[in-house]
Chains A and B, each alone.
Chain A
């Protein structure tokens, strides 16, 4: 049973464009939703995270949008750059209670 469903599997975006990656979850007890970024040959690194008491969180060019009623959250990368090319994972957990459950990942390629 996949608790966090991520789409698309891969994404190609022009430099300067907007990259959008979506995740959906089933467990309404989840209350912490991070995104991780992974470059080839490296471990994932925390990029940005949100809790369900807010609908949006922005850090620089990266924004998480959260829709509690639809049980969906998404990552938006504004003004995408070739250096953003990486694999992105969404995740969810019940804070203080369970380990993170990860989506299957999205491979983003930003082309000039």
Chain B
């Protein structure tokens, strides 16, 4: 049982480049989330989705876009990467009846130079 899988695990971008982070879950969860983790800042919510075809902004959405075309996938896009987006990105999912029990992937470490 894979749970939540994030790809890639590591990536280095130059300022202004774009990329998409992929998240896939095999638990048939309704809710999916993207968080970023920075030293001393904890986990901050970027965007989330309450179901296929729906997305909503979190605490720090600027500079990111998301899409959820299929229930099992949640994509995070950076259109024009900036050094401030250097971070570890975590995807998570949860079920309708246990919304607070998040299942996290193992993260994508992104460096923007």
Contacts and interface: CB of A to CB of B under 8 A. Distances in A.
Given A43-B90, A43-B92, A104 B42 contact: yes
B51 interface: no
B42 A103 contact: yes
Given A99-B33, A99-B48, A99-B58, A44 B100 contact: no
Nearest to B44: A102
A interface residue count range (under 10 / 10 to 19 / 20 to 34 / 35 or more): 20 to 34
A89 interface: yes
Interface in A34-77: 34, 36, 41-46, 49
Contacts of A103: 42
Interface in A1-23: 6, 9
Contact of B101 (A49, A89, A105): A49
Contacts, number: 54
B42 A46 contact: no
Interface of A: 6, 9, 32, 34, 36, 41-46, 49, 89, 91, 93, 95-96, 99-105
A97 B4 CA distance: 23
A101 B90 CA distance: 14
26 contacts: A9-B40, A32-B100, A34-B101, A41-B106, A41-B107, A42-B106, A43-B4, A43-B92, A43-B104, A43-B105, A43-B107, A44-B104, A89-B42, A89-B43, A91-B100, A93-B100, A95-B100, A96-B99, A99-B45, A99-B48, A99-B58, A100-B45, A102-B43, A102-B44, A104-B40, A105-B42
